[in-house]
Chains A and B, each alone.
Chain A
Amino acid sequence: MSNRRKIKLTVNGQDYERETETRTTLVDFLRHELDLTGTHVGCEHGVCGACTVLVDGISARGCLMLAVQAAGKKITTVEGLANPDGSLNTLQQAFMDNHGLQCGFCTPGMLTTLTEFLAHNPDPSETEVRIAISGNLCRCTGYQSIVAAALQAARVMREGKS
């Protein structure tokens, strides 16, 4: 049996059809076959969270999922978060306002994780935010500014809806 499969999937609203090896991880597929390098590889064992993407809206580790498992799914990566006009969305802007990133390497996973979290919990406490990102390692910020960014984003999103 061939170890290559043809898969169709949607990434950030765009449809792709590619043939890939069955052992290719989703993050390698996104980065090296679709050239979407915004999603980062930090540990390849599911701990650091840098490779987190949304699969049908649910966060998943791009390093622990095979590309073939994403066949037929809708994937959202960091490249798909900005507003349609290309401006930073509320969460991205909150990261910028609060110095929520330094080297920026963990940032894509933080953003995707928090995108899912804030969709389900629009009015979180600080502790809830900390628990939400406890599966994402950041070595630069000490997390404080990321937590502040998430809380600001939640506030702005709530105000926008009211």
Chain B
Amino acid sequence: MGAKWFGASVQRKEDPALLTGRGRFVDDIKLPGMLHVVVLRSPHPHAAIRGIDKTRALALPGVHAVVTFADLPESMRRQTVPLLVPNPAIKQVYMPYCLARDEVCFAGEPICLVVAESRYVAEDAAALVDIDFEPLPAIADCADALAPGAPLAHRDATSNLGAHIPLDVGNVDAAFAAAAHVFRERIFQHRGGPFFMECRGMIAAPDPATESLTIYVSSQGPHRHKRVLLDLLDWADHQLRIVTPDVGGGFGPKGSFYAEYGALAAAAMALRRPLKWIEDRQENFLSTQQERDQYWDVEIATDADARILGIRGKLVHDSGAYMPWGVVLPWIAATTVPGPYVIPSFKLDVLCAFTNKVPTSPVRGAGRPEAVVVMERLVDRVARELKLDRAEVRRRNFIQPAQMPYKVGIIFRDGRPVTYDSGDYPVCQQSALAAVDYENFKARQALARRQGRYIGIGFGNAVEATGLGPYESATARVATSGRITVYTGATPQGQSHKTTLAQIAADQFGCTPDDVTIVTGDTAATGLGVGSFAARTAVNAGSSVHLASKEAAHKIRQFAAAMMEVAEGDIELENGFAKVAGSDLKRSFREVAAKAVGMPGFSMAGGPLPGLEATSHFTPDQSTYSNGTHVAEVEVDIETGQVTILRYLVMHDCGHVINPMVVEGQVVGGVIHGVGNAFFERMVYDGDAQPVSTHFGDYLLPLATDSPNVEVLHMETPSPLNPLGLKGAGEGGTIPAIATLMAAVENALEPFGVHIAEAPITPQRIVELLGEAAKGRTK
């Protein structure tokens, strides 16, 4: 049975419902007796809470409760939301209580739940809760936060230093001492938030019949939420089921457990009513985690031929008020810097600073876009200073395919060395540049300049760790009706898992993807699960679905062979039947499944294990490494600073592709996320850490009119680390995009000597930089 569906651009099983208004997002679920909740949040970036008076709010008709910290169960008053990813680099642990106890540390931190008959009444009542705040000094900027005497983000902290990650590979000081050239770059990078179109939301529904709680939540994986809630409620496994219905985008921050989730669960149990909370967009700006600020101060050392000898420097990372993902984000950023290049020595001090802003956590790309900006800016700088072609400098420094598997020398946060599994970086760049006729760009640019047009080309290379473990679950089951369901802990937010995973299963069962139903994100369906983030689902869930389906198909053959008294090897699976090759003999999956569940009183001893089902938890030994080259041509209007993207091309290598249509969609969407980060998206706070950009009028996402058509080309270097040769594809569109666009803008403005060392870069800023360059103040 060959791969019939794997590799095909199968149309999506998700589409018909979503195109006709029959999707089921969390706010579409309506339960009998359901009440509505508003989360009352801190208006202050930093304040002590001296008292809360509910009297006026409770007097409003239709209000059922105002829930504060004091009303939470003892198990939630004694512990904060747990830190799921501890690391020795973390110097001070701050995590929030499910509702603020006596201190709020960012504007937007949850203080009360207001429960009422309708959302409208709950909002009325929220305005009537009287909270006595004592405002405290707040710290807004992460670099300022580390200065002596800075206001403390937490009033009992010893400093604002949350974590310190020292990375040190090779002898960097010797490398710099021996270098022919050393160049320094100071780069400020800001990435905004995820800004999925469906805000967060949750329903907590107590079931009096079983004394348990069912939760519907818009998430990227309910199993980790369950783990946290079991801790917070001090409950046993059977008391809690968490289901994730359709999810309207996640991009990272829907993977986090938020304090209000715990409070909502506790309040539903106390009130014995289903409670629904749907985040509104203003709350989304205030309280959904973002990626935000990084200050990089880095130096590169090369020999006389532009071969890199070392990189050293410092990264200051904005953690926000808490560290929900520990040091995951800055660690990924730091360890992604070397990318596809041989970097013999590397030393980076990573300082994570607490600020009075919403916590940061990975957003699509997860720190890698910033790392690629740093590396690619450094390489472009070397090329400029040494008057070499930018592509040539990269060629001289690429890791060669023959060096695979390649040990980068850096230690990942699991304590193991970063080792690239496969990839051909020189060919990737060469193919991308050939596709855009890079050779002749200089001539086109010169012609344009003679016409008064400033066009530029930029490119960026990236290597991306994908498919990180520990595992994903899959259980494949043929029901006694003959119908096939595969359950997995993977939890899609638009990535088409219900189609792509069905393609993988269909190849094993000899059926079509339409014959396989994929059930995702339900803790009652699979005991274990990790969820969908970090471009991990194809590798982890894909492999598990493959292995579980293969084993379940094997059991069909075992039972069918016994039923028809033929050899197992003679059985072929086709269209819902187990057939004996070369004969008319066959049994339907329904008949085989009925046999496989057994009959009371009839022994199954000595045969295959009962049931046409199998479970797999594929546990990869390490990450797989996708890679790509992006190329952008832009035109900059030097009067207005407006940037037009004339052409955008991606050469992408994510190993074997399950569904080319889906991968192309992931890559193109990812690039446009990068366009937003490069040119538009900025979460603005004032000097006191008060959020200023709290709606889509102030915080700009890329529109259709801002977005180029993206050309996507593929290389397929299969990973040797999993049975299907898969690597992740969810973030490769975003990761090199910002670096590529910065380089293209800088190249367009080359005649003016403008140097781009910050993102996002807005039209206003481009005009400013042109002015500074004209005055000779830009380096």
Point out residues on A near B: beta carbons under 8 Å.
21, 23-24, 28, 31-32, 35-45, 47-48, 50, 77-79, 81-82, 88, 92, 95-97, 99, 101-108, 111, 129-131, 133-134, 136-147
Contacts and interface: CB of A to CB of B under 8 A. Distances in A.
Most B-side CB within 10 Å, residue of A41, A136, A142: A142
B672 interface: yes
Interface in B717-748: 733
A41 B710 CA distance: 29
Given A35-B30, A43-B696, A101-B15, 4 more contacts: A28-B119, A92-B19, A129-B704, A147-B704
A64 B30 CA distance: 23
A140 B494 contact: yes
B197 A50 contact: yes
Interface in B693-708: 695-697, 701-705, 707
A31 B29 CA distance: 10
Contacts of B199: 42
Contacts of B20: 38, 78-79, 81-82, 88, 92
Nearest to B671: A142
Contact of A38 (B12, B22, B194): B22
Interface stretch (B247-255, B351-359, B592-600): B247-255
A81 B21 CA distance: 9
B119 to A, nearest CB: 8
A41 B16 contact: no
B675 to A, nearest CB: 8
A60 B196 CA distance: 22
B250 to A, nearest CB: 8
Contacts of B707: 130, 142-144
A96 B251 CA distance: 22
Given A137-B197, A137-B696, A104 B23 contact: yes
Most B-side CB within 10 Å, residue of A42, A134, A146: A42
Most B-side CB within 10 Å, residue of A40, A82, A88: A40
Contacts of A24: 120
B710 A144 contact: yes
B672 A142 contact: yes
A107 B704 contact: no
Nearest 3 CB-CB pairings of A with B:
A38-B21, A105-B248, A103-B494
Most B-side CB within 10 Å, residue of A24, A96, A143: A143
Interface in B617-655: none
Nearest to A135: B703
B21 A139 contact: no
29 contacts: A23-B120, A24-B120, A28-B119, A31-B27, A37-B25, A37-B27, A37-B28, A38-B23, A40-B25, A41-B27, A43-B281, A43-B696, A45-B696, A47-B695, A48-B281, A48-B696, A78-B20, A102-B665, A105-B197, A108-B21, A131-B704, A133-B704, A134-B703, A138-B197, A138-B704, A139-B196, A139-B251, A139-B673, A144-B707
A96 B11 contact: yes
Contacts of B710: 142, 144
Interface size band for B: 35 or more
B21 A37 contact: yes
A115 to B, nearest CB: 12
B668 interface: yes
A44 B247 contact: no
A99 B696 contact: no
Given A99-B12, A102-B496, A103-B197, A145 B19 contact: no
B34 to A, nearest CB: 11
Contacts of A131: 704-705
Contacts of A78: 19-21
Given A103-B247, A106-B197, A96 B19 contact: yes
A96 B16 contact: yes
Interface in B650-690: 661-662, 664-665, 668-673
Nearest to A130: B704
A141 B668 contact: yes
B709 A144 contact: yes
Most A-side CB within 10 Å, residue of B12, B30, B198, B278: B198
B280 interface: yes
B703 A104 contact: no
B280 A142 contact: no
Nearest to B19: A92
Contacts of B19: 78, 88, 92, 95-96, 101, 104, 107, 111
Contacts of B28: 31, 37
Contacts of A97: 11
B697 A145 contact: no
A24 to B, nearest CB: 7
Nearest to A143: B704
Contacts of B419: none
A142 B14 contact: no
